[in-house]
Copies of this chain bind each other. A is one copy, B any other.
Amino acid sequence: MIVDIIHDSSSPLTAEDMVACMKKKMPEVDKSTVYRTLDLLEETGCVYRSESDKGIVFHHADEGHHHHLVCNKCGKTVDVEEDLFLPVEKLLVDKYNFQVNFQHMVIQGLCKSCQ
């Protein structure tokens, strides 16, 4: 059900958001269960945790879509191909000898209709 919530949401949700969603759908579910389930889902690779303006947010772990554009106005999200940052990663290695892996980035910005 948590996975459903993540899938249904148009934007990445924080743990607190999840708890609130859960309360609506199943009032008897406790927040500790939500937190524990999120940990579990993350361990098993079903969801990803990453940082955004809202704090720590969770995403589904569908194949082939590994970054998320989030519109700061309407909240709409778009999935983006994983290799978006490859050029940047290469530059950082070449110029700074610095090894980076951009994964599941939450990228805040403005979508076409909100600009």
How many of these chains are in the complex? 2
A26 within 8 A of B: no
A residues 68-115 near B (Cβ < 8 Å) are: 69, 71, 78, 80, 84-85, 87-88, 91-92, 96-102, 107-112, 115
Could you say which interface size class chain A belongs to?
A: 20 to 34
Please judge, given known A-B contacts A51-B51, A51-B52, A52-B51, whether A99 and B110 are in contact too, CB under 8 Å. yes
Query: Chain B residue with minimal CB distance to A85?
Result: B88
Contacts of A55 in B (CB 8 A): 51
- Please determine whether A98 and B78 come into contact, CB atoms closer than 8 angstroms: yes
Contacts of A85 in B (CB 8 A): 88
Contacts of A51 in B (CB 8 A): 51-53, 55
